[in-house]
Structure 1
Amino acid sequence: MAIAGAGVFATAIPPLTRRHHGRFTPISNSKTKLSVSASVIPTEKQPRQRPASSFTENGVLVKKSAADSHSSRGGDGRLTLKDYFEQCGELVSRSDGGPPRWFSPLDCASRLKDSPLLLSLPGVDGVGLGLLLHHQRLGQIFDIWCLHIPLADRTSFPDLVKLVESAVRFEHSQAPNRPIYLVGESFGACLALAVAARNPDIDLMLILANPATSFSKSALQPETLVPLSTRMPEQLRSSLLYMLSLLSGSPFKMVASATGKRLPLEQAITEISQDTTAMSSYLSVLSDVLTAETLGWKLNMLKSAAGFANSRLHAVKAQTLILASGRDQLLPSREEAERLRQLLPKCEIRVFNDSGHALFLEDGFNMVSILTGASFYRRGGRHDYVLDYVPPTPSEFRSIYEPQRWIEAATNPVMLSTLESGKIVRSLDGIPSEGPVLYVGYHMMLGFELVPLVSRFWMERNILLRGISHPMMFTKLREGRLPALSAFDTFRIMGAVPVSAANFYRLFSSKSHVLLYPGGMREALHRKGEEYKLFWPEQSEFVRMAAKFGAKIIPFGSVGEDDIGQLLLDYNDLRSIPYFKNAIEELTDEAVKLRNEAVGEVANQDVHLPIIVPKVPGRFYYLFGKPIETQGRKEELKSREKAHELYIEVKSEVEKCLAYLKEKRENDPYRNIFTRLTYQATHGFDSQVPTFDF
C-alpha cells in the first residue's frame, strides 16, 4: 500500500470492488484519519520498520522516547474515547447507503515483517472503528482492515458472511502459510464464527469479544423493541442504537477511567467533559440519520446473526480466544463464553470481571498484551515462543509492574553485581549489555525472587529477561485442580518460554538474555531445612548450547525467602494427609511431565502447594557473579567431560553467591522492615536504603 502521509483524507468511501491492488482515494475536509481502499484486501505492503518496543541485535530493549511515542491527544500515544466518538460521527455522517466496504486506518504503524492479516468485524452499529483505541499498537504487528457497514445498508447476514469469506479466501490464496485473524465484537463475533464454520481448511484465528450468540437471552428482542421504536422520539432511537453498539454504560466508565489514571482533578474533569461532549455530538449525528425502520433492521440482524452462527458451531475448527466481560448488562457474556468453550474444539477464554460490553473501548484493556499473554499471536502455521514474541511497551510493563510493586516495597531488594575486575558493586553495572547472556541461579520458594529481579533488569538496564519455564504454564493435559492457563499470562507477556532445546537455540540465536533455574520445580518447592540448597541434574544441560553461541554465563544467588515466610507444611507433610495426597496426585496428572528420564531428586516433580506462614518482611539480596566466557570455547566444550567441568564450576559459583549473601546479611542494620521504614521516613521513600559493607 502506498500512503502519501498521515494527512491524506477522503471525501467519500468508494464501493467494494475486486481489484488486486488497492488505491487510496483522497478525502478532503475530513478529520477522520482513515485510508480507504477500493479493493477487498490489497496485497502491497507498507515499508517495514521496527516496532515501538523491540529487541536490538544484542538483546537489549529499545524504547521510544516520550516525544516519539506520544500522540497529540493521548499521553501514552493511544487515542481516546473523544477520538472514537468524533471519528464515528464523521464516518456515519459521510457514509452513503452502501454496500459494505473495507478500509485501513492511517494511524496504524508500520508492521513487522510477514505480519498476519487482521480483519476487524464491527458490532451491530456497523461503523467498524471498535478497535480504534488499539490501532496504533496492533498496527505494528498486523495488517489491519476494518469492515464498514453503512447505517442505511440492507445487506443480509448471509451476504455479509459471503463478503467476509471472499476476502478471507482471496488473502489466503495470496499467503496460504500465514494465519488470518478475525476480530469480532458482539455481532461481529457471530460473523467471524459463521465465516470460520464455512472455511474449516483455512488457518483462521478468532478473537471474539462478548459474542452475540447469546442474543436470545437478551432483553433487546425485536418483537418488543421494534413496535416501541416507532413511537420513540428520534433522539431516544439514536440512544438505543448507541446502547446496542456499546451496551455498557460508557459515561460511568469515563469517570472510572479518569479517576483510575490518578489525573489531577482539573485534568480529569476536562477529560470527562471532552469525552461526554464528543459522545453527545455522535448521538446527535445518529439522531439525524436513524429511523425506526433502521433500528428494526439492526435488531433483526442481531437475531439472524445469532441463529446463523449457533446452527454452525459444530463446523468451527479455528483456534478461538473469547474475551468475556463480567459486567455485561445486556448479554450473559461470561456464561456464553463457558458454553462456547465446551462446544469449540480449540477455544480459550479470558474473563474481565469489572468490564462492561464495550470491552475494546475501556481504559486498561490492551489487546496486544492479551494476545501475548494467551500466546495467541503467530505469523506462521505454529506459534513460536521466540520469533512471534511481542515485547511489552514501557506503559504495558508499568501496568504489569504496579500491582506487584508492593513486593519490592516490602522486601527492598539489594542488587549486587560483579565487574570484570572482580569488584562487587551495588548496581547492575556488572551485567553485560550485549547478548546472548545466560543467567543461572537459585530458585526461591514459589519463585518469590522473580518480580524484583525482572523489574530491576527492565528499569535499570532496559533488559528483558526471557525465563525458561515449566511447560505446565503453557499447556494443561486436562481441566481440573491446576490453575487456569490465564493465571500465567503475565509470565508470558514478560517473555517466559517453555523449556525445550529448540527454544534455547532460538533465544541464543536472537541474542537474548535468558534466565534459567536448573533446579526447577524441585528447588522452588523444596522441603523444610532445604533453604538455599541446589537441586541440579547430575548431567549438564545448558553448557554446550551456550558455548555454541558464545553466550556469557552469569551465576547468581538470591536469599531472603526465610525472612518473609516460614514453611509450615511441606511436600512430605502433605503426602501424609490423605486429602492432600489425593490432591497432589490429581495436580501432577494434569501437568505436562518434565525430565521423565532424569534420576535422583530432580526426577521428583510432583505438583503441590506448600503451606507457608508469613513473617514480618525481611529483605531480599541478590548477587550476580563474574561473567563466565564461553566465546571461543565451542570446540573445547564439545567434550562431554569439559562441559561437565564448566557445569560444576557454574554450580559452585551459585553456591558461593548464596553463602556470601547469607553471611553478609547478618551485618545489615536495615534487614528488618521497620528500620528500613524509619530510614525512608527521614530520607525520603524513594531514597536507597543502605545495607552491609561489601
Structure 2
Amino acid sequence: MLLSSAQLPFLPLRTPIPPFHSSKRCRLAAVRENQVKHASSLELDRSLPGTGDSHAEKKAMGTGIEAGELSVRYDDGFGTKSVKDYFDMAKEIIKPDGGPPRWFCPVECGPPIKDAPLLFFLPGIDGTGMGLVLHQKSLGKVFEVWCLHIPVNDRTPFEGLVKFVEHSVNSEHATSTNKPIYLVGDSFGGCLALAVAARNPTVDIVLILVNPATSFAKSQLQPLLPVLEALPSNLHITVPYLLSFVMGDPLKMAMASVSKDLPPPETLDELSKNLTSLLPILSDLADIIPKNTLLWKLKLLKSAAAYANSRLHAVEAEVLLLASGKDNLLPSGEEADRLWNSLKNCRVRYFKDNGHTFLLEDGINLLSIIKGTCTYRRSRQHDYVTDYLPPTHSEYQKHIEQEYRWFLLATSPVMFSTLKDGRIVKGLAGVPDKGPVLLVGDHMLMGIELSPLYKAFLKEKNIIIRGMAHPILFLKKAETSRQEFYHFDILNIFGALPVTPINMYRLFSRGSFVLLYPGGAREALHRKGEEYKLFWPDQPEFVRMAARFGVTIVPFGVVGEDDVAELVLDYNEQKNIPYIREWIEENNKDILLRSDASGEVSEQQLYFPGMIPKLPGRFYYLFGRPFETRGMDILKDRSKANVMYLQIKSEIENMLSYLKRKREEDPYRSIIQRALHQASWGSSAEVPTFEP
C-alpha cells in the first residue's frame, strides 16, 4: 500500500509527514487530531487499472444512489479477497514513516449510497487498519468507511488514541447531527470504541464490538508477558507465528476466498492451495508486530481494558456485540455474558465455531450481520422501509442456494401462475413485473412455504418481496447473551418487517411487492385437521389500503405441508399440559396483535407445534388472476371492498382445492421418483410435474 513520493497534503499543516512507499495502491488520509476535517485523501499510482476517485473526491462529487436504487442481488464484491490480501497490504502499510495515527479510506469501498452513514474501523493490536479487507467492498456500498492506522513505531498512549478518535467523531457529528456514526471495534479497537462512546453519550453512536478486549485481564497471554519481555530478539519470530494459531482458525481463514459453488474435489483442491500459501506468510506477523511493538501493545491493551471497563456505565450507545465461541486468546463468550448485562442497550450474536480473528474467517459477512440484526440505519431510528437494503448476490447464494439447498431439493417446489386470459402456466409469467403488488395467500404450518416462494421471485423475476411478519419476531426481549445468528435474522435480510398499517402504506407508496397473510399466526400455527383452512378477519382493510394506491392484488394458494410433516401436538393439547400452558401464557401476555378483531383470527396464541417429519412430498404454488384496484370506487363504497375481499378469499380456497386435486396426477410427487429422475438426468435437472 503506497503513497507517492510527494509529501502528504494538509490544510493547514505546519510539520509535514513523510510519505509511505510501496508498489501497492491505496489512498490514505493522513490526519492529525486537530485536522481531521481538513485532511485530503491522496491518490496513488493513478495510472494503474482499477483506480477510482478518492474518498474526499467522491464525497465532494456527491456520487451515490438512493438505497432504494440498489438492485436486487447486486454484486457486493464479498468473497473476492482473502487473508493473503490482508498480509500483503499489512506488510506494505507498516513501513516506518514517523507519522501519527491516521485515517485511510480503502479504494475498494467505492462510492456509497446517498446519505450513507460514516463507519470508523478501529483495529486490533496489529494497528494496520486492514482487518476489514474481506468486507471493504460490501461495506463500502452502504457506508463511508474510514479505517484507523496506527504506525508500527507509534507510542501514542490509550487516552491519546481516544481523544484522536473522539475528535473525528465529534467533527463528523457536527456536520450531520441526525445521522449515526458507526464504530466497529475489533479486539483492542472494541475498548477504544467503548471509551469514545462513554465520553460522548449525546452523540448518536452505533457500536459494533468484535471480541472486545475488555476481558484482557483473563487472557491466556497474561502469564506469558514476563516470558515475552525476556525472550531474545532472534526468537521473536516464533511468537507471532504461534499467536496466529491461537488467534484464529487457519482452515476458516483459508476457506474465506473459496467459492461455495465448487464440487467437493475442487473445493478441497482450492483449500489445499490456500493453506499452502497461507501458512508460510503467518510468520509475517513478526514484521507487522515487532517485539518492542508487541510489548507496547500488550501494555496498551491492559490500560485500554481498565479504561473501558471503568466507564461501561456511561455508555448510552446502541451496541451490537459479536462474540466467538472458539476464541483462544480472550474468553469472548463469557465476556459477552458480562457486557450484555452491563451495557444498557446491548445485543449479542454468538458464533460458536469462530476464533478471535473473526473478521478474517470464512462464512462471516459483516454487512449481512448488520442487516440481519436491523442495525443499519441512516437516521436516529431504524426505519424498516427507507433503511432496508436488498439482498446481495452473495447473500442469495449463501442463504437461499446453499443453506436451503437440501430443503428445496426435498420439496422440489413447483410454481404456477394465471394469465389474464385465465390460462394456468408453469412459472410466474402471470404475476406482474412492476409494483405496487400485494401477494395474498394461505400460510402453511410454521410458514415453511416461504423460502421456495422467495427463491422463485428472486431467481425468475429478480424481485424482492417485503413480507409482513408478526411483530414478536422483531422484539429483542427474548434474545440472550449467546444468541446465534438465526432464521429470523435471515428473514430481515430478505425483507421481513412488522405488519402495521403504516408500513403497508409506505411500501405501497414506493411501488413495492408486499406479501400478506390475512390469517397470520392463526394459520401458521393451526390445529390438527385445519390444514389449508383460511382464518381471515371480517374487515376488508387490506383491499381498501390497496385501492388507495391502485395496487394489483395477486391471490395465491400453496399446498404440501401434509406431505412433509405431521402435526402431533397442537395448541389445544399443549394448553392441557400445566408447564407448557404456563410457558405459552407467559410468552403471549404482552402480545395484543389483532385484539380488536372478531372470530378465531383474534386468537393468535403463539406456541411451538409438535411435529414429526414425513418422507417428503412436494410443494405446489398457484398464483391466481390479478385483481386490479386502480380506477375502482372501493374507497368510497365499503360494500364493493367487501365484495372484492370475499372474491379474493374464495379464489384462494378454489386454488387450494385445485392443487390438492391436481397433485394426485403428478408422477413425481414422491421424493423417491424425483430422486430416480435426477439420478438419470442430473441433480440440477428440472423435475417434471402435472400439466395444468
What's the TM-score, normalizing by structure 2? Answer: 0.90
Structure 1 residues 228, 83: closer, same or farther in 2, change over 3 A? closer
1:539 and 1:483, CA in 2 relative to 1: closer, same or farther beyond 3 A? farther
Structure-to-structure mapping, 1:79-98, within 5 angstroms:
79-93=81-95, 95-98=96-99
Is the partner of 1:107 in helix, strand or coil? Answer: helix
Q: Write the distance in 2 (CA, Å) between the matches of 1:612 and 1:355.
A: 32
Q: Which amino acid aligns with 1:616?
A: L
Q: Is the 8 A contact 1:110 1:139 kept in 2?
A: yes
Relative distance call for 1:594 and 1:11 in structure 2 (3 A) is: farther
Which residue in 1 is equivalent to 2:668?
A: 670
Contact 1:237–1:295 (Cα < 8 Å) also in 2: no
CA distance in 2, matches of 1:249, 1:13: 37
CA distance in structure 1 between the partners assigned to 2:479 and 2:256 by the alignment: 35
Kindly tell me: are residues 558 and 482 of structure 1, through their superposed partners in 2, closer, same or farther at Cα, counting changes over 3 Å? farther
What are the Cα deviations for residues 463-519 of structure 1, in whole angstroms up to 9, with x where unaligned? 111110011111144569998885410100111011112211221122211111010
Specify the code of the residue in structure 1 equivalent to 2:178. N
Question: Given that residues 20 and 93 in structure 2 are in contact (C-alpha distance below 8 angstroms), is that contact kept between their aligned partners in structure 1?
Answer: no
Letter in 1 for 2:92: E
Counterpart CA distance in 2 for 1:408 and 1:227 is: 55
| Partner of residue 341, structure 2 | 342
Structure 1 residues 12 and 339 mapped into 2: Cα distance closer, same or farther (>3 Å)? farther
Map of 2:175 onto structure 1: 174
Provide closer, same or farther for how the CA distance between residues 248 and 648 of structure 1 changes in structure 2, counting only shifts above 3 A.
same
- 1:453 corresponding residue in structure 2: 453
CA-CA distance at 1:682 after TM superposition: 2.4
2:293 and 2:441 mapped to 1: Cα distance? 65
Query: Does the 8 A contact of 1:442 with 1:558 survive in 2?
Result: yes
Task: Report deviation, 1:395.
Answer: 1.5
Deviation of the 1:269 alpha carbon = 3.5
Residue 31 (structure 1) aligns with: 24
Equivalent residue letter for 1:138: L
Aligned to 1:73: none
- Equivalent positions of 1:315-354 (< 5 A) are 315-354=314-353
- Displacement of 1:363 in angstroms is 1.8
Structure 2 residue 198 is matched with structure 1 residue 197: yes
Taking structure 1 as reference, are residues 11 and 123 closer, same or farther at Cα in structure 2, changes over 3 Å only? Answer: farther
Answer yes or no: is the 8 Å Cα contact 2:547–2:634 preserved in 1: no
Counterparts of 2:585 and 2:60, CA distance in 1? 53
Distance 1:284 1:349, change over 3 A: closer
Q: In the TM superposition, what are the counterparts of 1:335-484 in structure 2 within 5 Å?
A: 335-401=334-400, 402-477=402-477
Q: Provide the rounded CA distance (Å) in 1 between the counterparts of 2:338 and 2:473.
A: 24
The answer to whether residue 80 in structure 2 is matched with residue 78 in structure 1 is yes
Asked if the contact 1:468/1:498 (under 8 Å) is kept, the reply is yes
Give the aligned partner of residue 36 of structure 2. 40
- Report the Cα distance in structure 2 between the residues aligned to 1:319 and 1:371, rounded to whole angstroms: 12
1:375-407 CA-to-partner distances (Å, cap 9, x unmatched) read 000000110111111112112111112111111
Segments of structure 1 that go 5 or more residues without pairing to the other structure are 1-6, 71-75
Q: Secondary structure at the match of 1:40?
A: helix
Task: Please give the per-residue CA displacement for 1:527-573, whole angstroms capped at 9, x wherever unaligned.
Answer: 11111110011101311221222221100000011111121111111
Shift of 1:614: 1.6
CA–CA distance in 2 between the matches of 1:608 and 1:441? Answer: 22
Match of 1:61 in 2: 72
Structural mapping, 1:504-519, within 5 Å: 504-519=504-519
Aligned residues of 1:16 and 1:100 also touching (Cα < 8 A): no
| Partner SS for 2:81 | coil
Q: How far apart, in 1, do the equivalents of 2:346 and 2:12 lie?
A: 33
Give the AA of the match of 1:92: I
Could you tell me which residue of structure 1 aligns to residue 573 of structure 2?
A: 573
Match of 1:691 in 2: 689
Deviations 1:575-623 (A, max 9, x none): 112122112112213x643112222111111111111122111111100
Q: Report SS of the residue matched to 2:120.
A: strand
Whether 1:217 and 2:218 are equivalent positions in the alignment is yes
Query: 2:340·2:481 contact (CA, 8 Å) conserved in 1?
Result: no
- Corresponding residue for 2:539? 539
Distance change in 2, residues 1:629/1:513 (3 Å): same
Of 620-629 and 679-688, more deviation after overlay is shown by 679-688
Unaligned runs of 5+ in 2: 39-55
Residue 432 of structure 1: CA displacement? Answer: 1.2
On the 8 A contact 1:210/1:333 being kept in 2, the answer is yes
The answer to whether the aligner puts 1:49 opposite 2:81 as a matched pair is no
Distance 1:155 1:284 in 2: 21
Aligned residue number for residue 49 of structure 2: none
1:127-181, CA deviations, whole angstroms, 9 ceiling, x for partnerless residues?
1111111111101111111111111111111111111111111111111000000
Shift in alpha-carbon separation, 1:146–1:15, aligned structure 2, 3 A = farther
1:498 aligns with 2:498: yes
Larger deviation, residues 33-42 vs 554-563 = 33-42
CA contact (8 A) 1:15 1:98 kept: no
Q: Does structure 2 retain, via aligned residues, the 8 Å contact 1:117–1:181? A: yes
1:306 aligns to what?
305
The alpha-carbon distance between structure 1 residues 443 and 365, as it changes in their structure 2 partners (threshold 3 A), is: same
Q: CA deviation at 1:632?
A: 2.4
Measure how far apart 1:257 and its partner are.
Answer: 4.5
Amino acid corresponding to residue 61 of structure 1 in structure 2:
V
Q: Distance in 2 between matches of 1:564 and 1:109?
A: 46
**Aligned amino acid, residue 219 of structure 1:** Q
CA distance in 2 between partners of 1:295 and 1:12 (Å): 31
Label 1:647 to 1:487 Cα distance change in 2 as closer, same or farther (>3 A).
same
The Cα of 1:62 is off from its aligned counterpart by 6.3
Give the whole-Å Cα distance in 2 for the aligned partners of 1:484 and 1:254.
20
CA contact 1:444–1:559 (8 Å) conserved in 2 = yes
Contact persistence 1:322–1:350 (CA under 8 A):
yes
Change (3 A) 1:541 1:9: farther
The residue number in structure 2 matching 1:253 is: 252
Q: 1:413: Cα distance to partner?
A: 1.1
Please, what is the CA RMSD of the aligned residues?
Answer: 2.8
Other structure's SS at 2:108 match:
coil
Task: Tell me, yes or no, if the aligned pair for 2:617 and 2:670 is still in contact at 8 Å.
Answer: yes
CA distance in 2, matches of 1:457, 1:544: 26
* TM-score, with structure 1 as normaliser: 0.90
Distance 1:616 1:266, change over 3 A: closer
Residues 8 and 19 in structure 2, CA contact (< 8 A), matched pair in contact too: no
Question: What is the CA–CA distance in structure 2 between the aligned matches of 1:408 and 1:494, rounded to whole Å?
Answer: 17
Q: Contact 2:558 / 2:622 at 8 angstroms: preserved in 1?
A: yes
Structure 1 residues 668 and 661: CA distance shift in structure 2, 3 A: same
Secondary structure class of the residue paired with 2:403: helix
Q: Distance in 1 between matches of 2:591 and 2:123?
A: 39
Aligned residue type for 1:394: H
Aligned to 2:105, the other structure's residue is in SS state strand
CA shift in 2, pair 1:16/1:585, >3 Å: farther
State the match for 1:3 in structure 2.
Answer: none
Q: Distance in 1 between matches of 2:187 and 2:435?
A: 45
Q: Which amino acid aligns with 2:82?
A: T
Question: Are the counterparts in 2 of residues 36 and 104 from structure 1 also a CA contact under 8 Å?
Answer: yes
Instruction: State the shift of 1:229 in Å.
Output: 3.1
Query: In the alignment, which residue of structure 1 is the partner of 2:4?
Result: 10
**C-alpha distance in structure 2 between counterparts of 1:83 and 1:230, whole Å:** 33
User: Could you say if the C-alpha distance between residues 118 and 242 of structure 1 is closer, same or farther in structure 2, counting changes exceeding 3 Å?
Assistant: farther
- Alignment of 1:111 with 2:117, yes or no, is no
User: In structure 2, how many angstroms separate the alpha carbons of the residues matched to 1:331 and 1:77?
Assistant: 27
Partner of 1:623: 622
TM-aligned CA deviation for residue 240 of structure 1: 3.4
Q: Which whole-Å CA distance do the structure 2 matches of 1:481 and 1:332 have between them?
A: 14
Q: Report the residue type matching 1:441 in the other structure.
A: G
- Once residues 514 and 438 of structure 1 are traced to their aligned partners in structure 2, the CA distance between those partners, rounded to angstroms, is 5
Alignment-derived partner of residue 51 in structure 2: none
Residue of 636, 645, 648 corresponding to 2:643: 645
Question: Which one of the candidate residues 270, 273, 276 is aligned to 2:276?
Answer: 273
